[in-house]
Amino acid sequence: MKKRGSQIVCESLLREGCNVVFGIPGGAILPLYQTLPEYPELRHILVRHEQGASLAADGYARITGKPGVAFATSGPGATNLVTGIASAQMDSIPLVIVTGQVNSWTLGTDAFQETDITGITLPITKHNFLIMDAADIATSIEQAFYIANSGRPGPVLVDIPRDVFNQEIEYDFVKGAKLPGYSPETIGHPTQIKNAANLINQSKNPIIIAGHGVILSKAYAELKELAEKAQIPVITTLLGVSSFPEDHILWTGWPGMHGMAYASFALEEADLIIALGMRFDDRITGNPEKFALNSKKIHVDIDPSEIGKNINVEVPIIGDVKNVLIEIIPQIETGTHTSWLRRIEQLKDEHPSLKIPETDKLLGRHVIREISNVTEGNAIIVTGVGQHQMWAAQHYRFKKPCSLLTSGGSGTMGYEVPAAMGAQVAAPEETVWSICGDGGFQMTLPELATIVENKLPVKFAILNNGFLGMVRQWQEIFFEGSYVSTAYTGNPDFVLLAEAYGIKGIKVTDKSQIKKAIVDAMEHDGPVLVDFIVEQEDNVYPMIPSGMTVNEIIEENINETVKIK
């Protein structure tokens, strides 16, 4: 049957199970948009900025486990996607991005709105395609979905010139595109699994550090089974938060730059680190030369290039975390580790990292605690980047798998608005709280219009300290309080702003109003924005300065009231 390139794109997307697309039309991609009415099953969500499309697709992908899909036109449309694509690459999020390109016969002539987007995204995608013939569309999109969501997931970009969308070809789809150079290893090597099991059985002070890989492979039950069977304490990475229920007795927080001190010390004191789907990022290791020298390490990861990249390990296992755990668990002896678990409890007592100092002031931490209480740890929490992000990860008690969406590797400010939108589209029945900083919120707030347009009941909590808070904290600690370009003195009234969009706005200036505001927001049918005017110069503790070890950790003196400047 004769089909146009644009029809083949839509049919290929539907065939891959895609039914939501985030995007904005423009000249080069118009032929694809004009085809959308023929495919009503393909829901298009019109965003206000292409960065919103790629970040919303990220939030959507994390919740559904399917690749998030975004459309943009050539040139500036495509380049606006870049921050979201880079974020997805860093956090291993599957995306399939379709960009329009100038007509194929004008490629390379600096035509209007021409940008070499495959060149630009080459180092920040798992793979990308420039399609010069409509006959290649179906195969490339099939491959794009497969590459994006297999092995270590990541973004894939498909760039299609305008005329290729219009090109009419005889179309007969045959599944089974060949990728001779791509076959991710998902089953761990039996010998290494045996070695790992032996190490676990022999260890006295083992600790599990669960990363994003546990969430991506949905190995929640297996992680819990391993931890319970051998009685091993579990810490997570930032992206691994919510891979293990935080009301579990074995949950020991998360380590690293702003992690709980007891988790960092436990990692340091362990004799065996069982690293599952994580990559020994510098926010965890600080100084890799001096990191956890007392322990042997088992490193399970699906990406062979992560093994030995940052830290040398005794037992590397390449494979999908879930598959590997299924193989390991039967070889594990039932354990007790009583004295080690007692030591962990002692560390928790010695380093009460989550204790909030007595104060009447309204702290960002109070807000997170209250949201955690009111939602009973069952909401989907989406954060931006900075102090509020660290407080959210520290003080919200996550009970549900995959319920923290945060930009970890890339640290993309502004993630909180579009990603929350994508998450709410993916899970319309769930409560989605977007925890925002006043800085990041202003980077992507135009998406409020998209949220209203699509009747998405996202709840926004702005922890408004009138500063780029984390940067200010660094200036306070490392630059003698010289606050260069971090004070936001011209912030809008966020409540009025919300109301301008037709969103209910609530302002909170006193600690006593927190709970009511949160309950009111939850009871309101529709999106709500709560502007929490929090203490301006509150800091995130504990803190291990960049490149340092746990011995240089700075902890908060909880007996002192929060300092007021």
In the bound state with other proteins, the residue whose beta carbon lies nearer, of 50 and 159, is: 159
Question: What DSSP element (H or E) covers 326?
Answer: helix 321-328
In the bound state with other proteins, the residue whose beta carbon lies nearer, of 194 and 309, is: 309
Stretch of residues binding other proteins (CB under 8 A), selected from 114-122, 443-451, 482-490, 539-547: 114-122
Q: How far is the C-alpha of 237 from the C-alpha of 215, rounded, in Å?
A: 11
Q: How far is the C-alpha of 447 from the C-alpha of 7, rounded, in Å?
A: 28
Q: How far is the C-alpha of 47 from the C-alpha of 156, rounded, in Å?
A: 20
Between vectors from CA 515 to CA 510 and to CA 520, what angle results, nearest 5°?
A: 110
In the bound state with other proteins, the residue whose beta carbon lies nearer, of 107 and 329, is: 107
Instruction: Say if residues 187 and 36 touch (Cβ distance below 8 Å).
Output: no
Rounded to the nearest 10 degrees, what angle do helices 5-15 and 137-149 cross at? Answer: 30
Phi-psi region of 464 (alpha: psi -120 to 50; beta: other; left: phi over 0): beta
Q: Which residue from 37, 40, 181, 190 is in contact with other proteins, where contact means CB under 8 A?
A: 181
In the bound state with other proteins, the residue whose beta carbon lies nearer, of 56 and 148, is: 148
In the bound state with other proteins, the residue whose beta carbon lies nearer, of 30 and 187, is: 187
Stretch of residues binding other proteins (CB under 8 A), selected from 249-257, 263-271, 299-307, 553-561: 299-307
Stretch of residues binding other proteins (CB under 8 A), selected from 4-12, 66-74, 300-308, 495-503: 300-308
Is 147 a binder of other proteins (CB under 8 A)?
Answer: yes
Least distance to other proteins from the beta carbon of 133, Å? 13
Question: What DSSP element (H or E) covers 533?
Answer: strand 528-533
Burial of residue 429, with CB atoms counted within 10 A of its CB: 0-12 exposed, 13-18 middle, 19 or more buried: exposed
Residue with tokens 């291993």: 92
Mark 467-502 as b/e (b = at least 16 C-beta within 10 Å): bbbbbbbbbbeeeeeeeeebebeebeebbebbeebe
Chain-centre distance of CA 260, in angstroms?
20
Mark 432-450 as b/e (b = at least 16 C-beta within 10 Å): bbbbbbbbbbbbbbbbbbb
Residue with tokens 């546990």: 214
Residues 6+ apart with CB under 8 A from 500: none
Q: What character string, x for contact with other proteins (CB under 8 A) and - otherwise, covers 487-506?
A: --------------------
Q: Which residue from 48, 62, 127, 258 is in contact with other proteins, where contact means CB under 8 A?
A: 127
Stretch of residues binding other proteins (CB under 8 A), selected from 126-134, 245-253, 284-292, 379-387: 126-134
Q: Which residue from 14, 179, 249, 496 is in contact with other proteins, where contact means CB under 8 A?
A: 179
Q: How far is the C-alpha of 561 from the C-alpha of 565, rounded, in Å?
A: 12
In the bound state with other proteins, the residue whose beta carbon lies nearer, of 96 and 272, is: 96
Question: Closest by alpha carbon to 133, among 97, 109, 105?
Answer: 105
Compute and round to an integer the Cα radius of gyration of the chain.
Answer: 24
Q: What character string, x for contact with other proteins (CB under 8 A) and - otherwise, covers 303-322?
A: xxx-xxx-------------
Q: How far is the C-alpha of 378 from the C-alpha of 191, rounded, in Å?
A: 39
Least distance to other proteins from the beta carbon of 154, Å? 10
Stretch of residues binding other proteins (CB under 8 A), selected from 31-39, 180-188, 262-270, 358-366: 180-188
Is 119 a binder of other proteins (CB under 8 A)?
Answer: yes
Stretch of residues binding other proteins (CB under 8 A), selected from 175-183, 359-367, 489-497, 544-552: 175-183
Is 123 a binder of other proteins (CB under 8 A)?
Answer: yes
Least distance to other proteins from the beta carbon of 184, Å? 10
Stretch of residues binding other proteins (CB under 8 A), selected from 173-181, 206-214, 426-434, 498-506: 173-181
Least distance to other proteins from the beta carbon of 497, Å? 40
Stretch of residues binding other proteins (CB under 8 A), selected from 172-180, 251-259, 463-471, 519-527: 172-180
Question: Closest by alpha carbon to 250, among 230, 270, 227, 272?
Answer: 227
In the bound state with other proteins, the residue whose beta carbon lies nearer, of 37 and 181, is: 181
Residues 6+ apart with CB under 8 A from 344: 233, 252, 262, 266
Is 189 a binder of other proteins (CB under 8 A)?
Answer: no
Is 180 a binder of other proteins (CB under 8 A)?
Answer: yes
* 3-state SS class at 204: coil
Q: Which residue from 182, 331, 477, 492 is in contact with other proteins, where contact means CB under 8 A?
A: 182
Strand partners, 300: 276, 317
DSSP track, 386-408: SHHHHHHHHHS---STT-EE---
Stretch of residues binding other proteins (CB under 8 A), selected from 97-105, 119-127, 333-341, 471-479: 119-127
Is 14 a binder of other proteins (CB under 8 A)?
Answer: no
Stretch of residues binding other proteins (CB under 8 A), selected from 174-182, 186-194, 382-390, 430-438: 174-182
Q: What are phi and psi of 99, to 5 degrees?
A: -115, 145
Least distance to other proteins from the beta carbon of 171, Å? 23
Q: Which residue from 130, 196, 326, 332 is in contact with other proteins, where contact means CB under 8 A?
A: 130
In the bound state with other proteins, the residue whose beta carbon lies nearer, of 34 and 305, is: 305
Least distance to other proteins from the beta carbon of 152, Å? 9
* Alpha-helical regions (H) of 379-482: 387-395, 416-426, 438-444, 447-453, 469-478
**Strand residue runs (E) in 154-262:** 155-161, 168-170, 206-210, 234-236
Is 173 a binder of other proteins (CB under 8 A)?
Answer: no
In the bound state with other proteins, the residue whose beta carbon lies nearer, of 116 and 430, is: 116
Least distance to other proteins from the beta carbon of 92, Å? 13
Is 176 a binder of other proteins (CB under 8 A)?
Answer: no
Least distance to other proteins from the beta carbon of 21, Å? 24
Is 397 a binder of other proteins (CB under 8 A)?
Answer: no
- List residues binding other proteins (CB under 8 A): 118-119, 122-123, 126-127, 130, 147, 178-182, 303-305, 307-309
